[in-house]
Structure 1
Amino acid sequence: MSDQPSNPILLEEKQRIYRELGIVKADFASRGWFPGTSGNLSMRVGDYSPDRFTFAVTASGKDKAASTPEDFLLVDQEGKPCEPTRLKPSAETLIHCEIYRRTGCGAIFHIHSVYNCLVSELFWDRRAVPVEGVELIKAFNIWDEDAVIDVPIVPNYADIPRIVPEVTDKLDPRVPGILLRKHGIYAWGRDAFEARKHLEAFEFLFEYVYRLQLVRGR
């Protein structure tokens, strides 16, 4: 178990990140994005390398509409707690570990919504949700006229370690998000602001794509 949090600078940053995550958590809960204690949030704390990093993550099984002193805990690059605690990290912390390792991002937000689950099933056969020419694609810093992106979809296994290599295989450096089939979206960014921006953009695009399919009668 790491002793990193004993560093006063790291402690100060951890407390700042807990506050920032608390604000994001309250915002997302107010939008109904954490039904039944689902979803999870994380932010990196301190220095980063692909082999060694630390991040704050939501504790498992908590009501995310409530704010308590035990909403978050600090874990290492393997998803193990860095400090003595009775809290358990989210069951999906290993997915966060892999996304941090592969992208070097600073924040990852995972939510469940009706539209992201619907499109993950609607486009499961092609393993990606196609989005064509919608203005909000620019939220991902893609500025091509009539840009086209495919948001990857991976299988959702009960055994979380089985999902990790699927995520690795499907990560697209242009697209800061990945869907688990009938489960939800993981979106990330350099910091909490960018991760939230990306998540909001994905949710808009998923609703757009789904409604467009209805209009076209497909």
Structure 2
Amino acid sequence: MNPIELTLEQKQRAFSELRDIKKTLADRGWFPGTSGNLSIRAGEHDKDNGRFAFAITSSGKDKSVHTPEDFLLVNEAGKPIEPTALKPSAETLIHCELYRLTGCGAILHVHTVFNNVISEWFADRGSIPVEGVELIKAFNIWQEEAVIDIPILPNYTDIPRIAALVEGSLNPAIPGIVLRKHGIYAWGANAFEAKRHLEAFEFLFEYVYRLELLKR
């Protein structure tokens, strides 16, 4: 099978969009340590053969600074499509599954205190319930007093074990999943929409956390 080929313009566009959103989220402190990972689809999706490419953050990089080695390009199996000494994020396989299953254009993964705590609080339930909060509309859910459940997956050390659970956890109406005591994966048709969804999730996590405190 021939390797995926991207134009210079497609590569530069993907890297530029990732760089902009990386700066925005890093400024909010959403990448403690070298945690988190971001990706964006690059080029066209060959639906007939199930082939696609995306740009993703390199493993182990400080996301609060910008370098020429921040990103690399990988294929639908998470393998680099160009010669490189860089390693993709350890969680690239989860991105692969989300692109394959949802057809989305961008995926953002961050670690925050609120998404960690609330995922542990509702771990036994398997999802985080949110009722009647205005920010649910960010997911294009417009029912009055809407109720949603945000899926929680176990945080295994073995990433392929997590990736294997992604398909069974997806709710087409909810553009996100949470790994227990780890972080949120939010996605959208493009970087703008993925960011909107991520911001809404993080607001909702803090809201639910604080509401649970008031119930005690």
- Normalization by structure 1: what TM-score? 0.96
Q: What's the counterpart of residue 42 of structure 2?
A: 45
Where has structure 1 moved over 4 Å in runs of 4 or more? none
Deviations 1:151-208 (A, max 9, x none): 0000000000000121111011000000000000000000000000000000000000
Q: What's the counterpart of residue 103 of structure 2?
A: 104
CA distance in 2, matches of 1:180, 1:94: 14
Q: What's the counterpart of residue 83 of structure 2?
A: 84
Segments of structure 1 that go 5 or more residues without pairing to the other structure are none
Deviations 1:28-86 (A, max 9, x none): 11101000100000000111145100000000000000100110000000000000000
User: In the alignment, residue 43 of structure 1 is paired with which amino acid?
Assistant: I
User: In the alignment, residue 57 of structure 1 is paired with which amino acid?
Assistant: I
Q: What's the counterpart of residue 140 of structure 1?
A: 139
Aligned length: 214
CA distance in 1, matches of 2:4, 2:211: 49
Equivalent positions of 1:1-218 (< 5 A) are 3-5=3-5, 7=6, 10-49=7-46, 51-217=50-216
CA distance in 1, matches of 2:154, 2:74: 25
Q: CA RMSD for the aligned pairs?
A: 1.1
Task: Work out whether residues 4 and 52 of structure 2, in 8 Å CA contact, stay in contact via their aligned partners in 1.
Answer: no
CA distance in 1, matches of 2:173, 2:118: 20
Q: Specify the SS of the correspondent of 1:126.
A: coil
Instruction: Give 1:140 deviation, angstroms.
Output: 0.1
Instruction: Give 1:17 deviation, angstroms.
Output: 1.3
CA distance in 2, matches of 1:206, 1:44: 27
Q: Specify the SS of the correspondent of 1:68.
A: coil
Task: Work out whether residues 186 and 194 of structure 2, in 8 Å CA contact, stay in contact via their aligned partners in 1.
Answer: yes
Instruction: Give 1:209 deviation, angstroms.
Output: 0.2
CA distance in 2, matches of 1:204, 1:173: 20
